Amino acid sequence: MKLFVTGACGFIGSHFVEHAIAAGHHIVGLRRGDRAEARPTATLLDGLGVQWVEGDVLQPETLHQALQDVDCVVHFAAAFREGGVDEDYFRRVNVQGTTNLLEAAESRGVKRFVLCSTAGIYGQRVPGLIDETRPVLPWNAYERSKVEAEDEVRRRARASGMEYVILGRRLFTGLATNVCSNCFEVRSVAAFRCSVPAKAVATWCMSRTLRTPSCGPASSRAQQITK
């Protein structure tokens, strides 16, 4: 399948792209110009056959053409820990940017949408097992914007019939290539939830039906979050 990936030059996004290409996907990556900090990763992904398009999630006119014949959008790009910016900045990038991408995907008839969010929306150091029925307790501008972005994905996807996944990224450190093998918690896959590795998410993108590889029964889907 043809996947459109934002944030492909980021740490998580680049690992996902490697898994996705290995799983047989064609990757179209969104780039905001030739930024020096992204150049080494972009060069590496060039060698894997990534097709780049210039654009920005805050410039919707750059997204429509880029999504031609795309089967699935995988949205990693986000404002995370930028300093010296106000809360509106996080809302513009993380909420309006997601909305722009959803609207472009709907207009192009994209079948699936994956949003990388954060497990931090449930609060800091939450004890015990939690799932998506627990009230959210975001404690900073980034997490509040992610709550809004998740709501927008659910609302628009359900209205349009688009299949969707929301990934709850956990806090992690390290540079080893296997760090991303277990850094996601899938909190929303339409009505399903489980923990899966990044490779399984890539596999799901090209599967014929809406299912999540490696999921256990419903009673085992809650995972302990230690953030």
Which token pair is 25?
């996907």
Give me the amino acid identity at 221.
R
List average pLDDT for each run of 10 residues in the chain, which is 227 residues long: 95 92 95 82 92 96 95 95 89 98 96 92 80 84 95 94 85 41 45 44 53 34 28
Q: What CATH number has the domain bearing residue 67?
A: 3.40.50.720
Is 89 among the catalytic positions?
Answer: no
Active site residue: 89, 122, 142, 164, which one? 142
The count of domains in the chain is 1
Residue 61: its pLDDT value, please?
Answer: 95
Domain range enclosing 81: 2-224
Residues 6+ apart with CB under 8 A from 137: 121, 122, 123, 126
pTM of the model: 0.78
Residue 38: its pLDDT value, please?
Answer: 81
